[in-house]
Amino acid sequence: MFGRARVELKDGAQVRAMRAAGLVVAEALAEVRAALRPGVTTAELDAVARDVLARAGATSSFLGYEGVGAPPYPAVTCISVNDEVVHGIPGDRVVEDGDVVSVDFGAELAGWHGDAAFTAVVGTADPDDAALVETTERALWAGIAALARGDRLGAVGDAVQDTVEEVRRSGGPRYGIVHEYTGHGIGRAMHEAPTVLNYRARERGPRVRAGLVVAVEPMLTRGGAATAELEDGWTVVTQDGSRAAHWEHTVAVTPGGLWVLTAPDGGAEHLGALGVTVAPWED
C-alpha cells in the first residue's frame, strides 16, 4: 500500500537533471530493442545497454543493487522472458521466435536516476501475447495521464485497473494485475517514496503536485496475478506459468502539466492522444 514516508518534491533544475538521465535510459532501451531478435542471448542485450552507459558517462542504477536477502544484482538490465514478470537476470539464455521479452533499465547521471521498461514479442507474435503487450502499454499511458487529472496518486492505480476491466467488458481476456511489485518515487535514489500502486485502493495516497517525480510501471499477466521468486533471489515468475508484460516510464509533474523524462518526445505522442499537456519544466 501507499507508504507514509516523506515525498521529496523536485525543483525545475533537479527535474531537468533527471531528464538528462532519462534520455540515457531512452537511448539504451532503443538500442536494446533494435538488437532484440531470435538467436541473441540476454547477456548480449545487457552488453548493448552497458555500451550506452559508457558512452554517456553514466552508471547503472541496477548493477550491484542489494535486495532483501538477495546477492547484489549482477547486470545493468533486468530481462524477463515469457512467464518471468520482472528482475530476470541476463545470461546465456537464447531469445527464441515468439518469446515475450521485458527489458527494464535504469541509469544514474550526475547523481540523478531514470528508470523505464518495455515489453516486445520477438519475431512471430502469438495474437494473445501481442494483445497482452498492447494492453499493458495502454495501461501505462492511462496511468501516466491520470497524474494530470487526479488530485491524489491513487488515480494511477484506478486508471490501470480501469484499462484492464475495459478490455474484459468489451469481450477481451481477463488479465491479472500484479500487486506485489509497484511503481515508486525516484530521484537521487532509484527507489524513493511514494509507492505507486497499479490497482484501485481505498487509501488515495499523497497529493499530485508540481515536483512529484514517479516511475509508473504496470505489470499484467495472461493468467493469475500471483507470483513467486526463484532461488536466484531476483527473478519473479507467474505462479501459473502464464506470460507477463511490463512497461514503465519516469514521469515528472511540472507547473504546466506532465513531462515523461524517459520518453524522447517527453510523452507528447501518447499523452497528446489522451488530451494531456506535455510541459517541460522551464524556469
Q: How much of the chain, in percent, has pLDDT values that exceed 70? A: 99
- Run of H or E including 246: strand 244-246
Query: What is the structure's pLDDT at 150?
Result: 86
Quick check: is 1 in a domain? no
Quick check: is 217 in a domain? yes
Quick check: is 282 in a domain? no
Cα distance between residue 132 and residue 233, in whole Å: 26
Quick check: is 137 in a domain? yes
Q: Is the pLDDT of residue 257 over 90?
A: yes
Query: What is the structure's pLDDT at 283?
Result: 75
What average pLDDT does the structure give for the chain? 97
Q: Is the pLDDT of residue 2 over 80?
A: no
Cα distance between residue 128 and residue 259, in whole Å: 32
Quick check: is 4 in a domain? no
C-alpha cell at 61: 542504477
More confident call, 3 vs 250: 250
pLDDT tens string 83-98: 999 999 999 999 999 9
Query: What is the structure's pLDDT at 5?
Result: 72
- How many CB atoms within 10 Å of residue 97? 12
C-alpha cell at 202: 481505498
The number of domains in the chain is 1
> CATH number, domain at 94?
3.90.230.10
Q: Is the pLDDT of residue 28 over 60?
A: yes
Cα distance between residue 78 and residue 183, in whole Å: 15
Give ∠ CA 51-105-193 in degrees, rounded to 5: 140
Contact 181, 160 (CB under 8 A): no
Quick check: is 44 in a domain? yes
Three-state DSSP at 75 gives coil
Give the range of the structural domain holding residue 67, as residue numbers without chain letter.
12-272
Quick check: is 278 in a domain? no
Quick check: is 244 in a domain? yes
Q: Is the pLDDT of residue 1 over 60?
A: no
pLDDT tens string 43-82: 999 999 999 999 999 999 999 999 888 999 999 999 999 9
Bridge partners of residue 192, in order along the sequence: 185
Query: What is the structure's pLDDT at 35?
Result: 98
Query: What is the structure's pLDDT at 68?
Result: 82
Three-state DSSP at 152 gives strand
pLDDT tens string 142-184: 999 999 988 999 999 999 999 999 999 999 999 999 999 999 9
